[in-house]
Amino acid sequence: MTPNLILLEARTKKELFQLEKLQDELKLLNKFNEQKLRSIRLRAYASILHDFYSGIEKIFINIAREVDQVVPKTEAWHRELLEQMMLDIPSKRPAVIDGDLAVQLQQYLSFRHRFRNLYGYELEWARMEHLVKNLESTLKDLRNTLDNFLELLQKIAN
């Protein structure tokens, strides 16, 4: 395996570990149900969801930089990066994620954008509940996909 692929694998595994820590924080937060903590809980959930997608983007940026050698730089770079990860790039790499996972991740990307442009008191549980409830399964799908992707990269390199 080349030094770049070794570094990419190490960075990806580090980010996946960080994403699992977010999942653990989410589970802890779910235990706090008192009504007076509602606003604090909403802000905490939103922060975890924001960090979750930011961590995923770090993985995608590393792949774009190290393998594709092109990281989108336009105003819509977040969306373009996600789309780039769905592309099969002949002689470089297979698609990192499939369309189904991209649809799931697009929801987290949309929430991240919303979170960054709202005041905390404007947060609505109804708009984030499905993301909170699906975070664990999304992370599992992402981990499996990235593990398979890294294995394929290793085979290509060898």
How far from the centroid of its chain's Cα atoms is residue 108's Cα? 8
Asked whether 149 and 100 are in contact (CB, 8 A), the reply is no
Distances (CA, A) of 112 to 80, 94, 133: 15, 27, 16
CA diameter of the chain: 57
Contacts of 107 by beta carbon, 8 Å cutoff, 6+ apart: 130, 131
Rounded CA separation 84/44 (Å): 30
Residue 136 has pLDDT above 70, yes or no: yes
Residue 1 has pLDDT above 80, yes or no: no
pLDDT reported for residue 36: 56
CA angle 8–77–129, rounded 5-degree value: 85
Residue 149 has pLDDT above 70, yes or no: yes
Domains of the chain (ranges; CATH) run 3-157 (1.20.120)
Rounded CA separation 149/95 (Å): 8
Q: pLDDT by residue (tens digit) across 8-36? A: 999 999 999 999 999 988 888 777 766 55
pLDDT reported for residue 35: 56
pLDDT reported for residue 59: 97
Q: pLDDT by residue (tens digit) across 29-84? A: 777 766 557 788 899 999 999 999 999 999 999 999 999 999 999 999 999 999 99
- Report the pLDDT averaged over residues 94-122: 95
pLDDT reported for residue 100: 97
pLDDT reported for residue 40: 85
pLDDT reported for residue 34: 64
Burial 84-118 (b: 16+ CB within 10 A, else e): bbeeeeeeebebbbeeebbebbebbbebbebbeee
pLDDT reported for residue 108: 98
For the chain, what percent of residues have pLDDT higher than 70?
97
- Report the pLDDT averaged over residues 99-104: 97
